[in-house]
Amino acid sequence: MSSKERPTLGGTRIKTRKRNIAAPLDPAAFADAVVQIYLDNAGDLELVAKSLESSDLNFSRYGDTFFEVVFIGGQTQPGNVKPDEGERHPYSIIDCEPKREVILPSVIYVQKILRRRPFLIKNLENVMQRFLQSLELFEDNERKKLAIFTALAFSQKLSGLPPETVFQPLLKDNLVAKGLVLSFITDFFKVYLVDNSLDDLISILKRGKVEDDLLIFFPSAKRSADGFSEHFTKEGLLSLVEYNEKKIFEVKLKEMKAALTTQITEETDVSEVIENVKQRVKDAKLPDVEVVRMLWDVIMDAVQWSGKNQQQNANAALRQVKMWAELLNTFCTSGKLELELIYKVQIQCYEDAKLMKLFPEITRSLYEQDVLAEDTILHWFRKGTNPKGRQIFVKALEPFVNWLEEAEEEE
């Protein structure tokens, strides 16, 4: 007897997806809870931090609200920086005295919070960006406190806070025009430089992508090199003034060098080149010594070198010297500048192997073209102070110097 298959139930089982049920946001209740912790601990930030650590508050959901409580003392009004109607505590950064030593504990407190909850750095960025973009909504002394906190945050290397978070939001046209940004950044610089070097400050400005032009913080009416120097000299930041003047000088020198390189490469008429250099020197107020150094660099950079053929290299260099002697002569207007030119030739011949043996020939050519005076050459030979290759070059130049001295005796 064969067994029969048992009947089975047919059909398809339909699975239903469970809906993600999200709890409604309640930042006000979170803010009130944090405020209460501040009040319960009378603003003792060490105790506040411990209480927050042991609490079950949802920081990942209300991180922005947390930092509003830290800075303002409570949850802020929508689209504003003022506290909302909820609970508020009097121990916030805005409620502190605008002094470095008073605000520093708040920075250290925030650092501890971020070490325990690194994900909150993004919320700190959000709140700082919002506040900095709304500087006009704060009072003068409140802006000063924000600047002090920000400077100390970088000074204490607050976990992961990127400089562009601070500097880029400040560049709103209306904030700059009102002078609010200049005031903020001045307070920032002054506090930061108490514990850090100018190089440290420049490093932060570079990372914030504002180092190239610090005048962007100035209202248009004050946006000039003189305005920069006057303002920061008055504020006692002389090192920053010197740095900016050096940077402006380097930019102008670079621009001048680029323009001159083009003219010399194209073998523009020497009289036209001289007028161009004179005008640029006048406009940029460049020191004579730097002009002489730059002229020599540009002239020699334009030489068409021919590999290892020493004689061809010598001919090319001497031809270039002869061609642009009038240009050099125009700006070597004193014994001091002539000596500076010899030092420049000395250093280049020492550092460039293909020029090592050309020092006496170049020096003689400059003498024959009336760029270098006899007295200058003799001074360098007897009392020159630059040690680079000096012994080699003195020995190489000795026959020429002997000839000069003999000619002087005959006269």
Write down the pLDDT at residue 405: 85
Token pair, residue 320, equals: 């270039």
Buried b (16+ CB within 10 A) or exposed e, 325-363: bebbbbbbeeeebbbbbbbbbbebbbeeebbbebbbbbb
pTM of the model: 0.75
Report the DSSP beta bridge partners of residue 230.
none
Which spans in 59-179 are helix H? 63-72, 100-116, 121-132, 140-155, 163-167, 173-177
Confirm if 77 and 83 have CB atoms less than 8 A apart. Answer: yes
Write down the pLDDT at residue 13: 57
In angstroms, the Cα distances linking 266 to 258, 263, 299, 302, 331 are 12, 5, 12, 10, 21
d(CA 265, CA 260): 8
Helices 225-234 & 238-265 angle (0-180, nearest 10) = 160
Structure-token match 């944090």, residue found: 34
Which parts of the chain have pLDDT scores under 70? 1-25, 84, 159, 307-308, 408-411
Structure-token match 């334009």, residue found: 302
Backbone angles phi, psi at 76, to 5 degrees: -85, 155
Q: What is the pLDDT of residues 283-294, one digit of tens each?
A: 888 889 999 999
Structure-token match 């006057």, residue found: 230
Cβ-proximal residues to 327 (8 Å cutoff; 6+ apart), any chain: 270, 273, 274, 277, 295, 299
